[in-house]
Structure 1
Amino acid sequence: MSNKKRNKILPPQIPEILDILEPFVNIQDEDFISMGIIPNCSIENEAAERVILKQIVFKNVIFKEVSFKFFDLTDVKFENCDLSNADLSGAILHRVEMINCKIMGINLSESTLHNVTFDNCNGRYAFFRFSHCKRVSFKNSLLHSIDFQQSRFSEVEFSHSNLQQAELSGTSLNGIDLSSCEIEGIGVRIEDLSGAMVSPMQAVSLSKLLGLIVKYD
């Protein structure tokens, strides 16, 4: 099976025409919200758990001081949104895209991500610890100091992204291609790197983990 076929990520299945929905106000636990677009608004100080979102587009939405734990998102797209510091811990994301979004400090710990794309996102200090990521792509994104400790990766792609100071200890990078990314100061264990794909320059930098001293003539 080729890498291209193996790593194909399914996009959200969203109708071309959607009704405009009102922003979340007094959202309740276990609500079900589907088939609509929520544009150009701010959602503030809302908290709920185990809400199901299906075939929803958020466009130019600011999420401020929100706690949406254990949300179930299927066929959802975020465009030009700000989810900085949003608490989505324990969430399930399936066929989800975040495009041109700010996700600084977002909490996706203990979450499950399947067929998810992050494209041109600012994810500094994002928290993915103990997450399970299958067919997830991070493209052209700022992931400085992101926390992926003790996570499980399957068919995960990092492309042209900044992973400097990222924490990946306890997460196997077997089969993960980091060669197009900046990885200075990355936090990993030696055993985590087994099978990872890196550039020659990155290999020299990572040799410090082995206690090697690279000598140049």
Structure 2
Amino acid sequence: MSNKQVLPKVIKPKLTKEIAKKCMNGIDFEDESVIKNACISNYTIQIRKASKVTFEGVIFQKVDFKGIILDSLELTDVIFENCDLSNASLIGAIIHRTEFIDCKLMGVNLNDATLQNVYMSNCNGKFLLMNYIHMKNVILSDCILENSNLQHSKIDKVELKKCNFRLSQMSGTSLLGIDLSDSNFEGVGVRPEDLRGAIISPMQAVEFSKLFGLIIKG
């Protein structure tokens, strides 16, 4: 097996220029709603729970989703900018060609989700739940992901840029070919077989050796 990192080629959301020029400060949806080609700005989502909602070609700017429960959510060609999704439940979501920029994602439940062509930058994702997910062509940049969970998941072509995974749990997720050297993995919970083929820095090699009870003699 090769441990050479294969960098993701993330496809950006496909949005028309006209959408950003027609922002609204309100939106209504219910079970099985399909919202297309819209821009929502400076709004607090009123509905607390909905199932099988689809957002396609949508821009959210400074929108408050805190605590919302969206079962079987589908996101395609969506941008979240300065949004608050803290403690939202998005279990089983399908997320494609979507960006999260400067967002609060603390405690978001993304268990069993599928993420493809996703870009996340400068987000606070402490306590983020990403167990049993499938992640492909994803870039996480300058994100705080302390105490998060990424266990028993499949990740392929994922790039990490200066992220903080301190005290996170990643057991059961293969990191083969993933470059961890630029991010903080202090105190992470991981198995030796999960790290096989990962790309790490010399300092991380010392840190990980402590997890496995090894003693490095100077």
* TM-score for the superposition, normalised by structure 2: 0.93
Q: What is aligned with 2:120? A: 118
Please list the CA deviations of residues 89-125 of structure 1 after superposition, one character each: whole Å capped at 9, or x if unmatched: 1100000000000000001100000000110000000
Task: Verify: 1:150 aligned to 2:152, yes or no.
Answer: yes
Percent of aligned pairs sharing the same letter = 43
Provide closer, same or farther for how the CA distance between residues 73 and 213 of structure 1 changes in structure 2, counting only shifts above 3 A. Answer: same
Provide closer, same or farther for how the CA distance between residues 128 and 5 of structure 1 changes in structure 2, counting only shifts above 3 A. Answer: closer
User: What is the 5 A alignment of 1:28-39?
Assistant: 28-39=30-41
Please list the CA deviations of residues 150-172 of structure 1 after superposition, one character each: whole Å capped at 9, or x if unmatched: 11101011110111011100000
Please list the CA deviations of residues 151-203 of structure 1 after superposition, one character each: whole Å capped at 9, or x if unmatched: 11010111101110111000000011110111100110110000001100000
User: Helix, strand or coil for the counterpart of 2:42?
Assistant: strand
Task: Verify: 1:108 aligned to 2:110, yes or no.
Answer: yes
Q: What is aligned with 2:43? A: 41
Asked whether the 8 Å contact 2:78–2:99 carries over to 1, the reply is yes
Q: 92, 95, 101: which is aligned to 1:93? A: 95
Name the amino acid aligned to 2:92: G
Displacement of 1:7 in angstroms is 1.4
Aligned residue pairs total: 213
User: What is the 5 A alignment of 1:47-196?
Assistant: 47-196=49-198
Q: Which has the higher contact order (CA 8 A, sep 6+)?
A: 2
Deviating 4+ runs (over 6 angstroms) = none
Displacement of 1:28 in angstroms is 1.6
Q: Distance in 2 between matches of 1:115 and 1:4?
A: 17
RMSD: 1.5
User: Which structure 1 segments of 5+ residues have no match?
Assistant: none
Displacement of 1:5 in angstroms is 7.7
Q: Distance in 1 between matches of 2:127 and 2:62?
A: 22
Q: What is aligned with 1:23? A: 26
Q: Distance in 2 between matches of 1:132 and 1:176?
A: 15
Provide closer, same or farther for how the CA distance between residues 4 and 174 of structure 1 changes in structure 2, counting only shifts above 3 A. Answer: closer
Task: Compare 105-114 and 61-70 and name the one that shifted more.
Answer: 61-70
Q: What is aligned with 2:202? A: 200
Asked whether the 8 Å contact 1:74–1:93 carries over to 2, the reply is yes
User: Which structure 2 segments of 5+ residues have no match?
Assistant: none
User: Helix, strand or coil for the counterpart of 1:133?
Assistant: strand
Displacement of 1:136 in angstroms is 1.0
Q: What is aligned with 1:211? A: 213
Asked whether the 8 Å contact 2:86–2:107 carries over to 1, the reply is yes
Q: What is aligned with 1:11? A: 12
Asked whether the 8 Å contact 1:45–1:64 carries over to 2, the reply is no
Name the amino acid aligned to 1:95: R
Provide closer, same or farther for how the CA distance between residues 4 and 23 of structure 1 changes in structure 2, counting only shifts above 3 A. Answer: farther
Displacement of 1:47 in angstroms is 1.0
